[in-house]
Amino acid sequence: MFVTNKCQCKECQNPALSVIRDNEIIPHEPGFCFEHTEDKIGHLTSLLNYINSHEKIIGLCAYGISVNGVDLSGKKFYGCNFQHSTFSNIHSTGLKFKICTLDFSTFSDCDMLNSDIQFSSFSGSKFIHVVFTGSDLVHNNYNGITAYQCSFDDSDFYNSRFIRAILMNTSMKNCNLKKAIFYNSAREHVSFKLSNTREALIDRNKSGLIEDFSESEGEDEL
């Protein structure tokens, strides 16, 4: 996992950005969060150059950064921190995240086809016009997310959680929803056509077991 160094700015509780030197991460180097970094452009450039020049990225802390128009195809992230970050116009195929935290981040106008994302957290994040078609998205935390006009078609959501998520005008056609949890979620114009909705976990009944989606919702079209 990533090494958490607190921002050196007094009273700031945010984690410090990873320090890159000679194109390598210096894990215990003290530093500042993105908000309190004096040379924001320079530090962001060093982080992006590091990502661009490495296929496998381990333990990177990029809390609060903004990324626009970057191709992350084939990149593999392990134990990285992208909380409170913004991703715009990201185009990638075969992106991999494992044990990463991306809570309270924003994704807009992104194509992330055939992604492999496991044991990662997107809690409280926003997805606007994002395509994850054909992806493995298993054992992930999507609690409290908002997804608007997104496509997750042909994807595997085994054992992922969407508690209190808001899904609008979004497609989850032909998805594996086995053990996916949707407690207290809001769903408007969401298509689950050809997905195994009866194996998803939706509402608790009196015995503590789980009810399935209604038949009508499972067949809705966008």
User: Residue 120 belongs to a domain with what CATH number?
Assistant: 2.160.20.80
Cβ atoms of 155 and 173 closer than 8 Å: no
51 within domain boundaries = no
How many structural domains does the chain have?
A: 1
152 within domain boundaries = yes
127 within domain boundaries = yes
Q: Is the pTM of this model over 0.85?
A: yes
Q: What is the pLDDT of residue 74?
A: 97
Cβ atoms of 146 and 123 closer than 8 Å: no
154 within domain boundaries = yes
Look-up of token digits 């042909």:
154
77 within domain boundaries = no
Q: What is the pLDDT of residue 29?
A: 84
83 within domain boundaries = no
Per residue, the 3-state secondary structure of 103-129, as one string, reads CCCEEEEEEEECCEEECCECCCCEEEE
Q: What is the pLDDT of residue 91?
A: 92
Q: How far is residue 127's CA from residue 17's CA, in Å, rounded to a whole number? A: 24
Q: What is the pLDDT of residue 188?
A: 94
Q: What is the pLDDT of residue 209?
A: 35
82 within domain boundaries = no
Which pLDDT tens digits describe the chain residue by residue (222 residues)?
556 789 999 899 999 999 999 888 887 788 999 999 999 999 999 999 999 999 999 999 999 999 999 999 999 999 999 999 999 999 999 999 999 999 999 999 999 999 999 999 999 999 999 999 999 999 999 999 999 999 999 999 999 999 999 999 999 999 999 999 999 999 999 999 999 999 999 864 433 334 445 444 544 443
38 within domain boundaries = no
Expressed as residue numbers, the domain containing 142 is 108-218
